[in-house]
Amino acid sequence: MSAMTISREMLPAAGTPPDDVQYVTLGIDREVFAVPVALVREILDPRPLCRMPEAPPHLAGLIDVRGRGVPVIDLRVKLGRPALARTDATRILVLDVALSGRRLELALIADRVFEVTALDRHSVTPPPDIGTDWRCDYVRGIGRRGEDFVIILDLAYLLGSDAVALLPPDPLIPGPPILESPVPVHATHTEPGTPQEALPCA
């Protein structure tokens, strides 16, 4: 499995106007979306996923990134599109985002990734309220990439509803009190080496 990081050679030239903002552009069906390059840690080829029980359909599972379990969101499904089988063009973008005031490493599955491009912030327009098949509150604005429109995702809104599922428990927030059971609880002894049930992997 190969990985691609955002290197200086991939970024626009040093003479890029200060009003331009750099984005990684990616494709879902025939539409072009964008996420800020500053949030992208690396871009990966498809790799095995470990599914999580009772997860919503758009939460595809976990991937291993250098020993860390990173939750993966299928961007197609999150935007209301049907899920598709992975192809040679499928890419996984590993992001570092702020969610509910905490930093979180997570990943998005995209049909394909195009390039790092600069968009003029003054030419970005608000998303339309009608005529689209995705929620307008998931979109920060609409820019242009040549003759194509680029849909700039608002990651705070896109991922906000998943905060409970994605964020680990805050160690500073105490959990519910443990109540003493009136009935003695007999512990079950497990012999060393007894295999444990594993999560199913796609």
Which pLDDT value is given to residue 103? 84
The burial class, CB within 10 Å (0-12 / 13-18 / 19+), for 188 is exposed
CA–CA dist 186, 190 (Å, integer):
13
User: Strands 59-65, 68-74: parallel, antiparallel or unpaired by DSSP?
Assistant: antiparallel
Asked, for residue 188, whether it belongs to a domain, the answer is no
What three-state secondary structure class fits 195?
Answer: coil
Asked, for residue 144, whether it belongs to a domain, the answer is yes
Which pLDDT value is given to residue 18? 54
CA–CA dist 3, 64 (Å, integer):
13
Asked, for residue 30, whether it belongs to a domain, the answer is yes
Which pLDDT value is given to residue 185? 43
Asked, for residue 32, whether it belongs to a domain, the answer is yes
Which pLDDT value is given to residue 143? 92
Q: Where are the alpha helices (DSSP H) in 129-200?
A: 155-160, 163-166
Which pLDDT value is given to residue 10? 45
Asked, for residue 128, whether it belongs to a domain, the answer is yes
Which pLDDT value is given to residue 97? 87
Q: How many residues does the chain have?
A: 202
Asked, for residue 69, whether it belongs to a domain, the answer is yes
| Residue 164 Cα distances to 27, 69, 158, angstroms | 27, 16, 14
pLDDT in tens, the chain (202 residues): 456 554 444 444 444 455 688 999 999 998 999 999 999 999 999 999 998 888 889 999 999 998 999 999 999 999 989 999 999 999 999 999 887 778 888 999 999 999 999 998 888 998 877 656 667 778 999 998 778 899 999 998 888 777 656 666 555 445 444 444 444 444 444 455 544 444 455 4
- Rounded to two decimals, the pTM is 0.72
Count of domains in the chain?
1
**Structural domain for 67, as ranges:** 20-162
Which pLDDT value is given to residue 88? 94
Asked, for residue 6, whether it belongs to a domain, the answer is no
User: What CATH number did the domain enclosing 58 receive?
Assistant: 2.40.50.180
Asked, for residue 52, whether it belongs to a domain, the answer is yes
Question: 126, 68 in Cβ contact below 8 A?
Answer: no
Query: What backbone torsions phi and psi does residue 121 show, to the nearest 5 degrees?
Result: -65, -25
